[in-house]
A and B are shown apart, each in its own frame.
Chain A
Amino acid sequence: MVKVFIDNKAYEVDDSKNMLETCLSLGLNLPYFCWHPALGSVGACRECAVVKYKDENDKKGKLVMACLEPVVNNIRISIEALEAHQFRAGNVEALMTNHPHDCPVCDEGGECHLQDMTVMTGHNYRRYRFKKRTHTNQYLGPFINHEMNRCIQCYRCVRFYKDYAGGKDLDVFAAHDDVYFGRQEPGVLENEFSGNLVEVCPTGVFTDKTLKKHYTRKWDLTDAPSICHQCALGCNTIASERYGSIRRILSRYNGDVNGYFLCDRGRFGYEYVNSEKRILTASKKQNGTLSAINKEQAIQEIREIIKVDKKIIGIGSPKASLESNFLLSQLVGAENFYAGITSTEGKLIQLVVEIMKGGKVKIPSLSEVEGYDAVFILGEDVTNTAPMLVLSLRQAAKNKPREQAVAMKIPEWNDAAVRDVVQEATGPFYIATAHATKLDEIATKTYYAHPDNIARLGYAVTNKINQQPTIVDSDEETEALAQSISNALLAAKKPLIISGTSLYNEAIIQSAANIAFALMDKGKNPGLVYIVPEVNSIGLSMISHQFLEDIYEKPNKDDDKTAIILETDLYQKMDKHNTDTFLNQYTNVIVLDYLHNATCSEATYILPAGTFAEADGTVINNEGRAQRFYQVHIPENDVKSSWKWLQDLLMNNSTPSVKNFDEVIESLVEVFPELQAIKSIAPDSDFREGTQKIPREPHRYSGRTAMHANTHVSESRPPEDPDSALSFTMEGYAGIPPSAITPFYWSPGWNSVQAINKYQIEVGGPLHGGNPGKRLFEPIENSNAIYFKNNPLPFSPRKQEWLALPLYHIFGSEELSAQSPALKERIPKAYIALNNNDALKAGIAEGNVLEILFNGEKHRLPAKLSIQLPEGIIGLPKGFIETAGIHFPFWTTLNRLNNV
């Protein structure tokens, strides 16, 4: 800590920062454009100018850029000095010479950093009287709109896209006042994090194309703090609504999880919430067809059924909240509650939870991953199974080369200077997967093999770390690779092991743990990250222990059976034949879901469940972090959270009525005390700032009365929210709310997402009150976790059969986002992938239609070659409509169909 003087006032500050970060962290309003807390300083825009003085006697000083000015003891600067003030205003004037007068029609207006900074500097009079330079725009795909005339050349877009996210197809072209930011030719932006451009761009050059379809000004949106439901990482989001539809998703800052960013699946995959396939009313099957019935009536009838039927089972969902799953389990009884996933998947997740609970090794958060300097990935195509983890890994990969910059005393925040030293170098990074992946480009070495062989490599690495003898019948090449990997991990300051359930292989998960254990025993500081499939896979695993096969295969000759299915399309999970048979056993199939699907068609009753947008809930991410998401709006139809429906069903004379969300949680933790921590994720529903709730709407929200004027003219009472400390109005506390219930970012003069600065203790660091979420698994000293001894035999390909493995796609493998129109455009066509050599031998060319068999069902798809699958293995896209219900891995014949 050192002392600095800003406008003659003394402050004690951290000397590893630059003066811009320091001023912003102190709450001082210093304008800037090109600096970004995640991207560091480059000094391009010249907006953060301050006057720096030699000492207290120097009255003149000289203008410097605060973003490149290191904090040193006794430094004296002035933000308010007239010269600095005039320069900053003049700088905005220069930017304005070419900026179009688009504000009224620009999507960015109202949350535009350029608007904010222009007002802040006081520039308001145009002296430039000549023509403006203009550009043509490019088609960039279904997610991002391009409007280049608005560009102020801050270079943030290319710095984020290329330097931070590893993208290749967005760049800066030409020179002087003609510089252009776009693709080399129009086309879909390829990088999985392209959506962050809409937040990183300080003007309206890159804007959200899905928002444009139903554009709404920021101040007119109802927002809520939410959690992305499209993978297990649990990135924090802000979901925004108007007129009953979700308009857009923004990143919600969580310094421990996703930081400032989101992946494109999370940002643009929300449109399914507004889908025509949404179930909006309670329905009942009458005369063979489903038709709407009154919701109270539905509840009554179902309660009757539950009272009467002899056998009631419940199937929970890893997509549903803890509360929804819990109440279903209460309703049907724990012994009748089944997780809506295959037992293969379920057991693997249990294994993961067990390892994490064992506490031998630290389970790092997404942002902590950035601090590791050697990485070994076993069996995960991270780009497609946990996309945001790739962003963290790309930063981690720079840690080892960055040491050189540190040795040269280049501060970390001086981004351009660090990159000049690091160039394209990356640290030790090993990837062992079943096929080539996008992340391979930063790998030191890759290893494509069957999952069992990947596990064997993992066991070999453990042996090397523990200096144990070579495994019998392992080949020289693998041994050498294992040695390199173990050397790299042992040499690192913080080695990281990543694995997961994607390949459905127990041995991989165990061998990953072994490696981490071995590193721990050698006194290293290892981290272990497991990727699991769904937003609440971990949560569901902690409150259930039976799976679909258990109930599918259970003989039961009872009549009058009822199945209550929560947010699960069984036809996605299990094959059609068995699912048809299963459902036919039940007299009543009661489905709580949001989108019409094949299971709904077999239902006798359907209750419209709320998605993340219409429900409150708690989910536990892959790190074991319990996080809370909040309802965005109250829909004008029957839709409500599943746990509310289940609560209605639970209410009768013998069960005490449960009032609100907090009380559901109380009951939950009573039954599952190891989930105690979820009580303190966020303030309770009775929390107030003084006497005020936290408003979901900014104070400029408009049209509250006019919206309903077609039904009634008088102003209706705003709906109440008994379940949280948030209100569905704009009235309420105007200050910074507790971090877990922050619905939007705004501060006087800061209307854009840059207002996040005000919500952090120090810019770029944790939020006031701490980053939200409660971790359930922490390292335990003297943990008694034991090594696994399950080294599999090497994979043997078969002569006439092929082993099918799942291949994941960020766009397409996740069931809900795949039903969002914009995202759907990005889903590749389904295929059967195989190795080039195998294809050659079998006389198969790209595009030939192939036929495989799963559980007696035929599947026909075109061949796709050259993604470097190992020999004897084929790959199918996981989660696509064409591969619904398929369980991996499985053996199959492969026939090339002629004349097709």
Chain B
Amino acid sequence: MTTEKILTSEEVKEIQKIYQHFPLKSAACIEGLKVVQKYHGWVSDEAIKELAEILEMSPAAIDSAATYYSLIFRRPVGRHVIMVCDSVSCWIMGYDKIIDCLKNKLGINYGETTPDDRFTLLPIPCLGTCDHAPAMIIDEYLHNDLITDNLDTILEKYK
């Protein structure tokens, strides 16, 4: 009985293509994690093991890098990831109100996912749009100049 692999052969090929560019396979560790997350949304223990085989590294070494970085998710996330900037300029410009509103609307706290798997809520440091604070990113889209009144409109776009 063979367990099904997490990574498809295309994904494996993509990672193999990437490590050609590095002097060592192990240097492609982070890129490999990004490929996994691109297709699966997060990186599971099993994916770590498969990636380790492809890159000829130990699972521990891969996980050591994976758990270091805040944007590699080692737990499942919802269909959309909301990342709210909690740094100083957004904080001055009303972050507290925004996050309280979001937490209320979604009924979840930081690090949690809505029961319908629609949204995961995470903090993120300064998004570099401080002249349009407060701000947040959902998936890959930047939403800034946030006010509590337009949060619903923004969230509606994400099914």
- Interfacial residues, chain A to chain B (CB-CB below 8 A): 168-175, 183-185, 423-424
Contacts and interface: CB of A to CB of B under 8 A. Distances in A.
B45 interface: yes
A169 B59 CA distance: 7
Contacts of B48: 184
A174 B65 CA distance: 8
A183 B64 CA distance: 10
A520 to B, nearest CB: 37
B61 A168 contact: yes
Nearest to B58: A168
* Residue of A168, A170, A172, A184 with most chain B CB atoms under a 10 A cut-off: A184
Contacts of A183: 60
Interface residues of B, number: 13
Interface string B51-66: 0000000111101100
Contact of B59 (A174, A184, A423, A424): A184
12 contacts: A168-B58, A168-B61, A170-B60, A171-B61, A171-B63, A173-B63, A175-B67, A183-B60, A184-B60, A184-B63, A185-B45, A423-B23
A172 B68 CA distance: 9
B26 interface: yes
A171 B68 contact: no
The secondary structure that dominates the A interface is loop
Given A172-B64, A184-B60, 6 more contacts: A171-B61, A174-B68, A175-B67, A183-B60, A185-B45, A424-B26
A173 B67 contact: yes
Contact of B67 (A168, A174, A423): A174
B64 A169 contact: no
A424 B26 CA distance: 9
- Give the top 6 A-B pairs by smallest Cβ distance, nearest first: A168-B58, A171-B60, A171-B64, A184-B60, A173-B67, A184-B63
Contacts of B59: 169, 184
B1 interface: no
Contacts of B23: 423
Interface in B16-56: 23-24, 26, 45, 48
A173 B45 contact: no
Interface in B71-120: none
Contacts of A173: 63-64, 67-68
Nearest to A178: B67
Contact of A169 (B26, B45, B60, B68): B60
B60 A423 contact: no
Nearest to A423: B24
A304 B159 CA distance: 98
A49 to B, nearest CB: 27
The secondary structure that dominates the B interface is helix
Interface of B: 23-24, 26, 45, 48, 58-61, 63-64, 67-68
B43 to A, nearest CB: 12
Contacts of A184: 45, 48, 58-60, 63
A168 B60 CA distance: 7
A775 to B, nearest CB: 39
Contacts of B58: 168-169, 171, 184
Contacts of B24: 423-424
Given A185-B45, A424-B24, A175 B68 contact: yes
A185 B46 CA distance: 11
* Residue of A169, A171, A424 with most chain B CB atoms under a 10 A cut-off: A171
Contacts of B68: 173-175
B124 to A, nearest CB: 15
* Residue of B26, B45, B58, B68 with most chain A CB atoms under a 10 A cut-off: B58
A765 B2 CA distance: 53
Contacts of B60: 168-171, 183-184
A424 B48 CA distance: 21
A169 B57 CA distance: 10
Nearest to B26: A424
Contacts of A169: 58-60
Nearest to A158: B64
A108 to B, nearest CB: 24
A384 to B, nearest CB: 20
Nearest to A182: B60
B16 to A, nearest CB: 18
Contacts of A175: 67-68
A171 B63 CA distance: 9
A173 B24 CA distance: 22
Contacts of A171: 58, 60-61, 63-64
Contacts of B64: 171-173
A345 B126 CA distance: 71
B64 to A, nearest CB: 4
A817 to B, nearest CB: 27
Contacts of B26: 424
A468 to B, nearest CB: 39
Nearest to A161: B60
A171 B61 CA distance: 6
B59 to A, nearest CB: 5
A573 B31 CA distance: 55
A168 B63 CA distance: 12
A183 B60 CA distance: 6
Nearest to B25: A424
A172 B60 CA distance: 8
A14 to B, nearest CB: 35
A169 B52 CA distance: 12
Contacts of B63: 171, 173, 184
Contacts of A423: 23-24
Contacts of A170: 60
A172 B67 CA distance: 9
A171 B45 CA distance: 15
Nearest to B66: A173
A94 B64 CA distance: 25
A653 B59 CA distance: 70
A847 to B, nearest CB: 15
A169 B48 CA distance: 13
Contacts of B67: 173-175
A167 to B, nearest CB: 9
Contacts of A424: 24, 26
A185 B63 CA distance: 10
Nearest to B49: A184
A874 B45 CA distance: 36
A185 B59 CA distance: 9
A173 to B, nearest CB: 4
Nearest to B69: A175
A184 B46 CA distance: 11
A423 B22 CA distance: 13
* Residue of B45, B48, B59 with most chain A CB atoms under a 10 A cut-off: B59
Nearest to A170: B60
Nearest to A180: B67
B46 to A, nearest CB: 11
Contacts of A172: 64
A624 B89 CA distance: 72
A194 to B, nearest CB: 13
A175 B61 CA distance: 14
A423 B68 CA distance: 20
A212 B60 CA distance: 27
Nearest to A168: B58
A331 B67 CA distance: 67
Nearest to B64: A171
A642 B23 CA distance: 59
A424 B67 CA distance: 22
B5 to A, nearest CB: 18
A174 B61 CA distance: 12
Nearest to B24: A424
A184 B26 CA distance: 17
A170 B58 CA distance: 10
A522 to B, nearest CB: 34
B73 to A, nearest CB: 14
A607 to B, nearest CB: 50
Contacts of B45: 184-185
B111 to A, nearest CB: 14
A675 B72 CA distance: 64
